[in-house]
Amino acid sequence: MLPEASRDDFMEDPTTWETIDTDDIDPYFADRLVEAGVDRIRTCIQCGTCSAVCPSGRRTAFRTREIIRKAVLGLKEEVVSSPDLWLCTTCFACLERCPRQIKVTEAIVILRNIAVEEGFMLPQHRKTSQKLLTTGHAVPIDSVNRRMRKALGLQELPPTTHSNEKALEDVKKIMERTGFSTLIEGEAKEGA
């Protein structure tokens, strides 16, 4: 319950009410999640269990319940442009405890996919993905690791895309044909 003073403020001052402009609502947004497998998302009762058990939410601004609510309301731009969307560690604690058996973690992953399709991606993820595009590794081998491998009597480069040009070409082809390259090289949007 709100403290007395702030509850009165809220009741008397309508400017403290957050209003949602209908132009901000995508009425089909929740349907995309339902079609992608989060079929029970509209049964959310906003109990907050997902936020309460979220280990990331304990340390960050990530609020699972809020994201689910906004997604159900169709506030697509707000959800996909939020950097908070990337704070989930996909530990599945919310999914295990949701009293409505909503696939909460999957919803987050689907929302991330939509965000990337729309050009919203954290710079760190874009950089890591660019490494994958150019080397076939999200974390390419560095000079320290090369030296350690040598000292251990191993080949300086592992038998991966690092030393196999054909394999790297194949990986690049896969990334191109699946549309991954286009997503990564596309223009970043504000907020991403």
Residues near ligand SF4 (CB under 6 A) are: 44-50, 64-65, 68, 98-100, 102, 104
User: Which residue, 63 or 162, is less far from ligand SF4 as judged by CB?
Assistant: 63
Characterize 127-141 residue by residue with b for buried, 16 or more Cβ atoms within 10 angstroms of its Cβ, and e for exposed.
eebeebeebbbeeeb
* Cβ proximity to ligand SF4, 65 vs 162, nearer residue: 65
Q: Is the dihedral of CA 51, 54, 57, 59 positive or negative?
A: positive
Q: Return the number of the residue (56 or 64) whose C-beta is nearest ligand SF4.
A: 64
Instruction: Output the smallest distance, CB 30 to ligand SF4, in A.
Output: 13
Minimum CB separation from ligand SF4 for residue 138, in Å?
30
Residue with Cβ nearer ligand SF4 (46 or 182): 46
Least Å distance between CB 95 and ligand SF4? 9
Cα dihedral sign for 179, 174, 166, 151?
A: positive
**CA separation for the pair 81, 191 (Å, rounded):** 6
Helix axes 165-177, 123-135, angle to 10 degrees: 130
